[in-house]
Amino acid sequence: MNLTSSRRTFVKSLAAGGAFAGLGLWQQPVWALTSPGQPTALSGTEFNLTIDAMTVDFTGNRRTAMAINGSIPGPLLRWREGDTVTLRVRNRLPQDTSIHWHGILLPANMDGVPGFSFAGIAPDGMYEYRFKVKQSGTYWYHSHSAFQEQLGVYGALIIDPKEPESFAYDRDYVVFLSDWTDESPARVLAKLKKRSDYYNRGRRTLGDFIDDVADNGWTETVSERWAWAKMNMSPTDLADISGATYTYLLNGQAPDGNWTGLFQPGERIRLRLINGSAMSYFDFRIPGLKLTVVAADGQNVEPVQADEVRLAVAETLDVIVEPDGSQDAYTLFAQSMDRSGYARGTLAVRDGLQAPVPAPDPRPELTMEDMGHGDHSAHGQAAAPAQSDDPHAGHGDMNHDAMNSDQRDHAAMGHGPSGAMQAHPASETDNPLVDMQTMMPVAKLDDPGIGLRDNGRRVLTYADLRSSFTDPDGREPTRTIELHLTGHMERFAWSFDGIPFADAEPIRLKYGERVRFVLVNDTMMHHPIHLHGLWSDLEDEHGNFQVRKHTIDMPPGAKRSYRVTADALGRWAYHCHMLMHMDLGMFREVRVEE
């Protein structure tokens, strides 16, 4: 039976919990989910979810969206580690649908990816998901069918741990970030296929050229423009889809909706930040408050303090903030990476209050260094990874297993002389789906990122994230699989190694083996790479375990490695979580076999 928690019911249960606190029982914090704009919270072990069409108005125009149980985001699902949960998902749409439990460890036929171990949910059909909950933390769920995620089929998922957590807090809010367009997603994609910079309202002008000549001289300016032109790219192309069509939402509210979470001065507030957008990176901060990061992708990390955090698509971060009573209201500010818009909400001591909303930062521009073609000593970045001594290593076999073990480990961990060039798979050569290659990629783990460097704020980086536990596997990988993230901006085509999903062979893992994945981003765009069903244990530049995640952000010009234990049999999706990049081919199947 689903349990829907109202504020009044919860206050009663909290009082009861307080009565038992003196007996040494664990007292849960305030679960503040029923404020305006927060979804209904469903808890227990059995859940009934219905996906249907719904009329919405985020922009002053009525549009048809898709919703779960009549809300966007869908209901917040609250499970408990160790329980077995049953979720009956009914489809009231005229087309097939699905639900994927993002980052959750479960049997392959419960993962919710149509065409793999699951046929999808037909119109008027129902699918029963049932599995044991093996983890805890902050996660989310969404459709894995067509563009339904863009249309509203998503929601937050929170799993309470068996044991009390190592950090204390008094109040708990989900901050779910997403993007909405009044256009049909198919129309948006059609525009991008015709002109990939259709939504880029920051294209450089003749005036910019004149200014650059005045500042840098004619020769340098023309040379720089020609370099970008040869790659069919623009340094202002930071997001495929911008605020020109997107409205950015916080807990389903547009900026003028001003979602508000209440607090009392002196409380420690846990904010569960979820980037559930289809195509948008968000830079999140709360002017006047420090963010203490305590978890990433549902897994606890050593606490680290920051002023600002970047959330790639599909990532989650848990932060704790402590308003001291000096202000009655604080703005939750999440600007898009291209600065074309923002989502916002408020923390306040009572409804109706708001704090000043910052102006978006200046629109950043990409540099040749960002593309992996420049001076990698800047921003404290590591030396360029070494190329194999064998000029043919890494070519031919798409998993790059042609390299011997020493060469693989050497290259994967970024060791070697500075200035070595990156090898590329043969399938990228003369490939009409590949418009650039990164020649000197680096890990960039301690780089705040495009638009966040030297902004006067302490910005969280991947180098700051360290799991609060040691490597749960402990074994060294026995082989390395290197994949290149490839694309062609003018054609708006995306792939791994220049091979779209339709033409790609599955990546085959043997059950129980430990494998190192190495990703090289040969494009000018960020790509959040998500492997279903298995954890991704990110390494530092020296090959040491750093942080466990389910989604690895890959900035332009980056090379990053992580370990995977193939401990779940079945067919698993492996893809970029930018919805349209995935749809157009940056997708592979990973098969874990006996």
The token duo for 8 is 């009044």
pLDDT value for 26 = 36
Q: What is the 3-state secondary structure (H, E, C) of 191-245?
A: HHHHCCCCCCCCCCCHHHHHHHHHHHCHHHHHHHHHHHHHCCCCCCCCCCCCCCC
pLDDT value for 275 = 98
Mean pLDDT calculated for residue range 279-305: 98
The token duo for 330 is 């604080």
Average model confidence (pLDDT) across the chain: 85
| Lowest-confidence region among 158-167, 317-326, 371-380 | 371-380
Instruction: Tell me which H or E stretch contains 345.
Output: strand 342-348
Give tens-digit pLDDT for 547-570: 999 999 999 999 999 999 999 999
Is residue 30 predicted with pLDDT exceeding 90? no
Give tens-digit pLDDT for 309-368: 999 999 999 999 999 989 999 999 999 999 999 999 999 999 999 999 999 999 888 776
Question: Could you give the count of Cα atoms lying within 13 Å of 108 in the half-sphere of its Cβ?
Answer: 19
Mean pLDDT calculated for residue range 170-175: 94
pLDDT value for 401 = 33
Is residue 7 predicted with pLDDT exceeding 50? no
Per the DSSP assignment, residues forming a β-bridge with 575 are 530, 587
Given the DSSP bridges, would you call strands 329-336 and 342-348 parallel, antiparallel or unpaired?
A: antiparallel
Instruction: Tell me which H or E stretch contains 18.
Output: helix 7-21
Distance between CA 13 and CA 587 in Å, rounded?
46
Residue 332 is which amino acid?
A: L
Higher pLDDT, 218 or 121: 121
pLDDT value for 376 = 38
Is residue 23 predicted with pLDDT exceeding 50? no
The phi and psi torsions of 381 (rounded to 5 degrees) equal -80, 155
Measured CA to CA in angstroms, residue 439 lies from 196, 223, 328, 384, 543 at distances of 24, 19, 51, 9, 21
Distance between CA 347 and CA 349 in Å, rounded?
7
Q: What is the 3-state secondary structure (H, E, C) of 380-427?
A: HCCCCCCCCCCCCCCCCCCCCCCCCHHHHHHHHCCCCCCCCCCCCCHH
For residue 584, give every residue at least 6 positions away whose Cβ sits within 8 Å of its Cβ, in sequence order, or none: 492, 493, 494, 500
Binned at pLDDT 50, 70 and 90, residue 238 comes out as confident
pLDDT value for 515 = 98
Is the sign of the CA dihedral 399, 400, 405, 410 positive or negative? negative
Mean pLDDT calculated for residue range 208-234: 56
Q: Tell me whether the omega of the peptide bond preceding residue 73 falls within 30 degrees of 0, making it cis.
A: yes
pLDDT value for 117 = 83
For residue 580, give every residue at least 6 positions away whose Cβ sits within 8 Å of its Cβ, in sequence order, or none: 185, 188, 189, 192, 240, 241, 278, 279, 492, 494
Closest listed residue to residue 532, CA positions, set 477, 467, 590: 590
Which of 140-144, 167-171, 380-384, 416-420 ranks highest by mean pLDDT?
Answer: 140-144
Is residue 29 predicted with pLDDT exceeding 70? no
- Residue percentage of the chain with pLDDT more than 90: 75
Instruction: Tell me which H or E stretch contains 486.
Output: strand 479-488
142 touches 214 (CB < 8 A):
no
pLDDT value for 409 = 40
- Residue percentage of the chain with pLDDT more than 70: 79
Superfamily for 169-200+236-363? Answer: Cupredoxins -  blue copper proteins (2.60.40.420)
Give tens-digit pLDDT for 105-121: 999 999 999 999 899 99
Q: Does domain 378-593 have CATH number 2.60.40.420?
A: yes
The token duo for 504 is 């790609």
pLDDT value for 374 = 54
Binned at pLDDT 50, 70 and 90, residue 545 comes out as very high
pLDDT value for 234 = 61
- CATH class for the domain made up of 3-164: mainly beta
Give tens-digit pLDDT for 390-449: 333 332 232 333 333 333 343 444 433 344 799 999 999 999 999 999 999 999 999 999
Cα Rg, the chain, nearest whole Å: 23
Distance between CA 44 and CA 22 in Å, rounded?
26
Sheet holding 46-56, edge to edge: 63-68, 46-56, 84-91, 126-132
Residue ranges matching CATH 2.60.40.420 in the chain: 3-164, 169-200+236-363, 378-593
Measured CA to CA in angstroms, residue 69 lies from 151, 244, 512 at distances of 14, 30, 39
Global pTM?
Answer: 0.85
| Lowest-confidence region among 29-38, 232-241, 482-491, 517-526 | 29-38
Question: Could you give the count of Cα atoms lying within 13 Å of 31 in the half-sphere of its Cβ?
Answer: 26
